[in-house]
């Protein structure tokens, strides 16, 4: 069973993560993890904090000479920004502040923000890069792209940058949509045998847990609601690579909607929970958009879930045990999935 845990606060000394159940014999160059962390950190629309962060990380167990041993992999990422925000009883509407303050019985929103912050996704990316690498070695390729930024759909690097600048100058933030796709996925991952083994549901949970994600679709998604069965049957890709909770051998296509970051430099009306006075909550640390970074995080979160499903189906404690099993399965299923 592949599983992971993360810990750490946004401005604590470290983020910490453990990945358990990962097979032995996977070469994992540090540069590979660094490149993935840099993709997340330098995505368009980030706040000034990301220029300060270096995402310096240390792997303290589970690797010998950049190759996994099968033991739990423990990772530490050092936070450069250690400026813990001062205590505040003023929740930022739309963030975790208010429900977190109620839930954990505190009048200090900063305590909630520290853990709810999307800073945590740096660790998910580091751990997810192991899964991405394993999938890659098995021939599974992941990609993502942002398809909508604040309603703007034909995006180029230039039009996105201009839109972000416009929003930033106006003290506003932007939402958007992204797609994550996986090619060359073996058929039969997941299961129709029990609800919690359905891979679509598992991938949905993985992606909906990425900060700011409010919508999730598989393949044709919501557009399928308006189609007849005859029309839908003409395009097998509308299933997004999943039928009955299992991969069908076609490309996996997942799509997410990300809300605009709710913390605004321009301020949002809120209520101080100590005095019950109305006040403007002003956020100076927000990204202009989270959609580009979320797409990178989503690749990693989905890769972890997919690698878990691969390991469940094929087993094996080392890459050399796993590889021939996947190859043999691909040969066996090749003819049946050729139409997709």
The neighbouring-strand residues paired with 281 are: 268
Kindly state the smallest distance separating residue 191's Cβ from ligand EPS, in Å: 34
Q: What angle do CA 45, 50, 53 make, to 5 degrees?
A: 165
Of residues 136 and 172, the one with the C-beta less far from ligand EPS = 172
Type and span of the H or E element at 205: helix 199-208
Helix (H, G, I), strand (E, B) or coil at 122: helix
Burial class of residue 196, CB neighbours in 10 A (0-12, 13-18, 19+): exposed
Question: What would the 3-class secondary structure string for 168-195 be?
Answer: HHCCCCECEEEEEEEECCCCCCECCCCH
Q: Supply the minimum distance, in Å, between the C-beta of residue 10 and ligand EPS.
A: 3
Q: Which of 165, 110, 78, 108 is nearest to 283 (CA)?
A: 110
The DSSP element (H or E) to which 269 belongs, if any, is strand 268-271
Nearer to ligand EPS, 82 or 332 (CB): 82
Q: How far is the CB of 117 from ligand EPS (least distance, A)?
A: 3
Could you give the 3-state DSSP secondary structure of residue 318? Answer: strand
State the nearest-atom distance from the C-beta of 48 to ligand EPS, in Å. 9
Q: Smallest distance, Å, CB 79 to ligand EPS?
A: 9
Kindly tell me which of 118 and 273 has the beta carbon lying closer to ligand EPS.
Answer: 118
Say how many residues make up the chain: 340
Q: Which is nearer to ligand EPS, 73 or 122 (CB)?
A: 122
Which residue's CB is nearer to ligand EPS, number 114 or number 217? 114
CB 212 to ligand EPS: min, Å? 6
Per DSSP, 217 falls in state E
In the complex, the smallest distance separating the C-beta of residue 131 from ligand EPS, rounded to whole angstroms, is: 19
Residue 92: which residues within 8 A CB-CB, separation 6 or more? 109, 113, 262, 263, 268, 270, 281, 283
Burial of residue 276 (number of CB atoms within 10 Å: 0-12, 13-18, 19+): exposed
Q: Which is nearer to ligand EPS, 75 or 246 (CB)?
A: 75
Q: Report the 10 Å Cβ neighbour count for 315.
A: 11
- Binding residues (CB under 6 A) for ligand EPS: these are 10, 47, 49, 117-119, 121-122, 211, 261, 285-287, 290, 293
CB of 148 to ligand EPS, least distance (A): 18
- CB-nearer residue toward ligand EPS: 253 or 264: 264
Of 119, 86, 115, give the one whose Cα is nearest residue 103: 115
**Nearer CB in complex with ligand EPS: 117/148:** 117
């Amino acid at each position: 069973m592949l599983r992971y845990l993360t810990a750490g606060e946004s401005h604590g000394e470290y983020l910490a993560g453990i990945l358990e159940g990962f097979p032995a014999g996977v070469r994992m160059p540090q540069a590979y993890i660094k490149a993935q962390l840099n993709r997340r950190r330098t995505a368009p629309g980030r706040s000034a904090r990301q220029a300060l962060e270096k995402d310096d990380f240390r792997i303290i167990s589970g690797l010998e000479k950049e190759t996994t041993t099968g033991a739990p992999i423990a990772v530490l990422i050092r936070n450069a920004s250690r400026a813990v925000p001062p205590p505040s009883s003023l929740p930022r509407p739309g963030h975790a502040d208010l429900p977190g303050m109620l839930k954990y019985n505190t009048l200090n929103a900063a305590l909630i923000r520290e853990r709810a912050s999307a800073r945590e996704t740096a660790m998910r990316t580091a751990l997810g890069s192991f899964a991405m690498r394993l999938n890659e070695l098995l021939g599974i390729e992941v990609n993502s792209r942002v398809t909508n930024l604040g309603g703007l759909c034909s995006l180029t690097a230039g039009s996105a940058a201009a839109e972000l600048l416009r929003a930033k100058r106006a003290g506003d933030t932007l939402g958007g949509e992204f797609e994550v796709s996986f090619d060359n996925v073996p058929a039969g991952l997941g299961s129709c045998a029990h609800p919690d083994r359905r891979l679509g549901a598992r991938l949905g949970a993985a992606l909906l847990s990425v900060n700011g994600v409010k919508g999730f679709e598989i393949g044709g998604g919501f557009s399928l609601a308006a189609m007849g069965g005859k029309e839908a049957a003409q395009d097998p890709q509308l299933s997004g690579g999943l039928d009955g909770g299992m991969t069908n051998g076609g490309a996996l296509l997942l799509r997410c909607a990300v809300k605009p970051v709710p913390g605004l430099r321009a301020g949002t009306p809120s209520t101080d929970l100590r005095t019950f006075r109305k006040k403007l909550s002003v956020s100076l640390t927000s990204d202009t958009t989270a959609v580009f970074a979320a797409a990178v995080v989503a690749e990693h979160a989905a890769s972890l879930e997919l690698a878990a499903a691969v390991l469940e189906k094929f087993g094996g404690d080392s890459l050399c045990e796993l590889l021939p099993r996947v190859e043999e399965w691909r040969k066996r299923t090749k003819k049946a999935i050729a139409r997709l």
